[in-house]
């Protein structure tokens, strides 16, 4: 089978649909493709890891083996450990922590948390952002008392932007029980402002575009004009910013876990593995570097993909 | 055109003022009188052209008539129904019978829809056709405007400007309206394509008995397609007459100037000797009296005082100018 790059040089690509055009542009950006590949791999790892850590004893992240504590990566298991507590292949691929727990298993368990928090938090913030931005952009001229709808929503957005988000999250998380759901909601509810601004700006310019006026003239219902005609045309900056925001949300969750405000400790996340490891940074650097590199990798992958999408969706570059 | 007793469209005293907001509380500090007291009638099967310089309110008239923007004042009756007093759902039903074709064939088509979706969406939403019947009807409309049935699957960006304008016309025709506003519908096209699209519009009109409100600043196009012409200046209709009469015997000084300024495609003909001087005044602060008097070569003292009333020169020819103020209507 020929690689995509080879195909690109041998035959002209017939670009038909907007999605095909987008894909064609994205494929030319090697870094974005690399980011996409890494992300797909991480999603697969997270899903498989979730299953393995739940049901396969060899991958149980909670198994404590005090004899084998702080073993470096690739260290073989001690002979005293019972067979059902052996890691896969009898080797601690990523080493063990201060309680002799297998770091590979803990990383696997943490990967699904990181990705889930990233996606759900961004999902929440994107929905809020589209809703507020859409209302401000489409119904902005409506007046409620002395102020227009647009003024009310956008000043509230400005107020939210004034808060140092991370400290707001810390405060809220300190008051709420530290569950993964609360963290998702809090991160989502404090990061919608950028999306709101994008969507509002796009809706304001789309509202006066001829094809939207044409849709009105055809007697189409308002919801159809908003959701089928305007929304898809306002989506590209939202998609780009959402991709990059996933990286931010994962970082925020890691930071929260690192500070001890995150997901409750027996459950592993990349942030709390990192936090536990900081006490042993000179004796067991792998406890620090493995989650650190994983976070770096995922954040980098999302950012590269986001940048690549921004380029691919740019209409000025597209005409070529 | 047979002057039937009942016009299809009657517009009376239509006005649209846009607020100019300023200050801390964004109060309306001033008003732009984009359209001021415009009245006209349009009969079945007739083409009325609306001409004038950029910014004189032609497009605002058209969009107000369709209630795509809410006019400040005025009365619009379409087929004996008061368009201004319709509820949302009644208006949606009426929209099936009045359509619009836009100037820019690029921004007027949703780039994410296939041609089939663009043309067929309204049929689907109004419950007029579904599934294979919908595709059949869209195909028929596309053929009428000179496109292929198979073009339904393609996207707008695969077509040229002229073809895209045909898609826009097909979208307007799909609902089988009785009245279409052509808002500078050919202005963005090459001259040869213009002729094709104009002929298409005329053929469709003859087949379906459509009425057009044809907005243009191109007098040659207007002369070709219109039955009657209304000339607008700063938000008001200054003269309205049958096309031949208007071009052969213009009455209003502005109409005369406009016709003189129209370039003749012959290099041996020298340009018009006394083309109009000055600029169009701001519609925010129109001159007192007749809005045209600062540029008018025949201005009378009266013109500075009072805006002239409508003078009926004959049954079809009306002008708003003090030079003809003899018999008031």
Name the residue among B108, B111, B122 with its Cβ closest to that of A219.
B122
Residues 6+ apart with CB under 8 A from A33: A4, A26, A27, A308
pLDDT surpassing 50 at residue A88: yes
Report the alpha-carbon distance of residue B258 to residue B217 in Å, rounded: 10
Model ipTM? 0.85
Which candidate, B159, B158, B162, places its Cα nearest to that of A20?
B158
**CATH fold of A19-318:** MetI-like fold (1.10.3720)
CA distance A198 to chain B (A): 19
pLDDT surpassing 90 at residue A14: no
Instruction: Answer yes or no: do A213 and B63 touch at CB < 8 A.
Output: yes
Q: Strands B228-233, B47-51: parallel, antiparallel or unpaired by DSSP? A: parallel
Instruction: From residue B246, give the alpha-carbon distance in Å to each of A57, A72, A230, B251, B252.
Output: 94, 96, 43, 8, 10
pLDDT surpassing 50 at residue A216: yes
User: Cβ contacts (< 8 Å) between B68 and chain A: which residues?
Assistant: 213, 216-217
Confidence (pLDDT) at B191? 86
pLDDT surpassing 70 at residue A224: yes
Average pLDDT rounded to a whole number, residues A106-120: 90
Cross-strand partners of B318: B240, B312
* DSSP tally for chain B: helices H, then strands E: 9, 12
User: Cβ contacts (< 8 Å) between A17 and chain B: which residues?
Assistant: 155
User: Which segments of chain B have a pLDDT < 70?
Assistant: 1-5, 22-28, 271-275, 326-329
**pLDDT band at residue A217 under the 50/70/90 scheme:** very high
Q: What is the pTM of this model?
A: 0.78
Name the residue among B103, B108, B154 with its Cβ closest to that of A211.
B108
Instruction: Answer yes or no: do A218 and B125 touch at CB < 8 A.
Output: yes
SS (H, E, C) B139-151: HHHHHHCCCCHHH
Confidence (pLDDT) at A171? 87
Confidence (pLDDT) at B283? 78
Average pLDDT rounded to a whole number, residues A29-38: 91
Confidence (pLDDT) at B198? 93
pLDDT surpassing 50 at residue A9: no
- Select the more confidently predicted residue: A314 or B322: B322
Confidence (pLDDT) at A82? 81
Q: CA quadruple A66, A69, A71, A74: dihedral positive or negative?
A: positive
Q: Look at residue B103 and give its three-state secondary structure.
A: coil
Which candidate, A227, A213, A214, places its Cα nearest to that of A134?
A227
Which candidate, A236, A245, A243, A152, places its Cα nearest to that of A202?
A236
Confidence (pLDDT) at A274? 86
DSSP labels, B142-176: HHHTT--GGGGGS-GGGS-HHHHHHHHHHHHHHT-
Q: Which residues of A touch B (CB under 8 A)?
A: 16-18, 146, 209-211, 213-221, 224, 229, 232-233
Confidence (pLDDT) at A235? 84
User: Cβ contacts (< 8 Å) between B100 and chain A: which residues?
Assistant: 213-214, 217
């Amino acid at each position: 089978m020929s690689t995509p790059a080879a195909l690109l040089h041998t035959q002209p690509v017939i670009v038909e649909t907007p999605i095909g055009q987008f894909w064609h542009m994205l494929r030319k950006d090697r870094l974005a493709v690399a980011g996409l590949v890494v992300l797909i791999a991480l999603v697969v790892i997270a899903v498989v890891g979730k299953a393995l850590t739940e049901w396969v004893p060899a991958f149980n992240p909670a198994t404590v083996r005090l004899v084998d504590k702080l073993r470096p990566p690739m260290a073989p298991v001690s002979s005293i450990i019972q067979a059902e507590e052996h890691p896969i292949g009898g080797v601690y691929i990523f080493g063990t922590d201060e309680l002799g727990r297998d770091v590979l298993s803990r990383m696997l368990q943490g990967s699904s948390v990181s990705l889930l928090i990233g996606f759900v938090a961004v999902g929440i913030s994107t929905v809020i952002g589209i809703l507020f931005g859409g209302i401000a952009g489409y119904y902005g001229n409506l007046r409620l008392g002395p102020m227009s709808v647009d003024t009310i929503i956008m000043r509230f957005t400005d107020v939210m932007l004034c808060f140092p988000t991370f400290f707001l999250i810390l405060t809220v998380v300190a008051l709420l029980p530290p569950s993964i759901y609360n963290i998702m909601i809090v991160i989502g509810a404090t990061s919608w402002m950028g999306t709101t601004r994008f969507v509002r700006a796009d809706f304001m310019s789309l509202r006066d575009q001829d094809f939207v006026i044409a849709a009105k003239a055809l007697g189409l219902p308002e919801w159809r004009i908003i959701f089928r005609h305007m929304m898809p045309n306002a989506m590209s900056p939202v998609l780009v910013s959402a991709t990059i925001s996933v990286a931010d949300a994962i970082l925020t969750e890691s930071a929260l876990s690192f500070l001890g405000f995150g997901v409750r400790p027996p459950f592993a996340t990349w942030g709390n593995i990192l936090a536990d490891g900081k006490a042993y940074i000179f004796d067991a650097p792998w406890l620090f570097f493995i989650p650190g590199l994983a976070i770096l990798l995922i954040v980098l992958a999302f950012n590269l993909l986001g940048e690549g999408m921004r380029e691919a969706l740019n209409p000025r570059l597209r005409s070529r | 055109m047979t002057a039937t007793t009942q016009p299809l469209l009657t517009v009376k005293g239509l006005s649209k003022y846009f607020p100019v907001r300023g200050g801390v509380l964004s109060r309306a500090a001033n008003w732009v009188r984009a359209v001021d007291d415009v009245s006209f009638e349009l009969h079945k099967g007739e083409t009325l052209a609306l001409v004038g310089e950029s910014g004189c309110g032609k497009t605002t008239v058209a969009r107000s008539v369709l209630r795509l923007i809410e006019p400040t004042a005025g009365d619009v009756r379409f087929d004996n129904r008061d368009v201004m007093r319709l509820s949302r759902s009644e208006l949606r039903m009426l929209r099936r019978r009045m359509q619009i074709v836009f100037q820019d064939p690029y921004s007027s088509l949703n780039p994410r829809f296939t041609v089939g979706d663009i043309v067929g969406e309204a049929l689907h939403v109004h419950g007029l056709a579904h599934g294979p019947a919908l595709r059949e009807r869209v195909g028929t409309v596309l053929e009428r405007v000179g496109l292929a049935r198979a073009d339904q699957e393609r996207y707008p960006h695969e077509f040229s400007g002229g073809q895209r304008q045909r898609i826009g016309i097909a979208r307007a025709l799909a609902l089988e309206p009785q009245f279409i506003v052509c808002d500078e519908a050919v202005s963005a096209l090459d001259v040869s394509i213009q002729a094709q699209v104009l002929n298409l519009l005329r053929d469709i009109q003859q087949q379906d008995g459509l009425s057009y409100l044809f907005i243009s600043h191109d007098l040659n196009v207007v002369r070709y397609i219109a039955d009657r012409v209304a000339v607008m200046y700063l938000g008001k209709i200054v003269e309205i007459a049958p096309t031949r009469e208007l071009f052969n015997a213009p009455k209003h000084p502005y109409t005369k100037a406009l016709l003189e300024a129209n370039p003749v495609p012959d290099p041996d003909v020298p340009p018009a000797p006394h083309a109009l001087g000055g600029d169009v005044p701001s519609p925010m602060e129109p001159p007192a009296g007749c809005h045209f008097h600062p540029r008018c070569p025949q201005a009378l003292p009266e013109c500075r005082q009072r805006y002239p009333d409508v003078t009926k020169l004959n049954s079809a020819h009306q002008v708003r100018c003090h030079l003809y103020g003899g018999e008031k209507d």
